[in-house]
Amino acid sequence: MNNIHGHCLCNTVEIIIKEYGNFVYACHCDGCRRQNSGAVLSVDPGSGENVEFTRGKDKITVYHDDGIERGFCSVCGSNLFWHNPQDDHYCMNAELFDDIIKNAEFGLELFYDRKPAYYSFAGERKKLDCNFEEITG
Ligand SMILES: [Zn+2]
Ligand SMILES: [Zn+2]
């Protein structure tokens, strides 16, 4: 897909991913769970060149978390993105993008060894631990 529109809960922030498929992954890391009260479902558009903030960029607050930028809408609080400024890599909240989630391929769970026992997603998919090594069985 091209020029995939996303927006936050209050519509102040609008984001476009220039080119992406439908791949979605979950992150169970400590930071994501604390920020969102659960695993975060994300898309991985990659380089900042593939992402455009088309509205409300001045309303985005960035929290700096151990070298990583976590961006959220300062009006409604929606979690927007995780950004590594070292290599300009963006991962974005999948639920901002209606056209992706309506036909998402949920193919990966990250930091699976950090997931607490009380919840889990149905179905089978690739799982990586906090060292990005595959968990089998
Ligand atoms: Zn908002
Ligand atoms: Zn995470």
Q: What is the dihedral angle through the alpha carbons of 40, 10, 56, 105, rounded to the nearest 10 degrees?
A: 30
Average pLDDT over residues 27-36: 95
Q: Is the pLDDT of residue 26 over 80?
A: yes
Ligand found nearest the CA of 7: 1
Average pLDDT over residues 110-123: 97
Report pLDDT for 91. 97
Q: For residue 75, is it within any domain?
A: yes
| Token reading at 83 | 């950004």
Ligand found nearest the CA of 79: 1
Q: For residue 27, is it within any domain?
A: yes
Report pLDDT for 22. 97
> How many Å lie between the centroid of ligand 2 and the Cα of residue 109?
10
Ligand found nearest the CA of 75: 1
CA-to-CA distance for 25 and 127, rounded, in angstroms?
A: 10
> How many Å lie between the centroid of ligand 1 and the Cα of residue 55?
11
Percent of the chain with pLDDT over 90: 97
Q: For residue 137, is it within any domain?
A: no
> How high does pLDDT run on average in the chain?
97
> How many Å lie between the centroid of ligand 1 and the Cα of residue 133?
35
Q: Which domain does 30 fall in, by range?
A: 2-127
The structural domain count of the chain equals 1
Q: For residue 110, is it within any domain?
A: yes
Q: What is the pLDDT of residues 44-58, one digit of tens each?
A: 999 999 999 999 999
Q: For residue 122, is it within any domain?
A: yes
Q: For residue 133, is it within any domain?
A: no
Residues flanking ion ligand 2, Cβ below 5 Å = 27, 29, 32
Q: Residue 92 sits in a domain of what CATH number?
A: 2.170.150.70
Q: For residue 83, is it within any domain?
A: yes
Report pLDDT for 52. 98
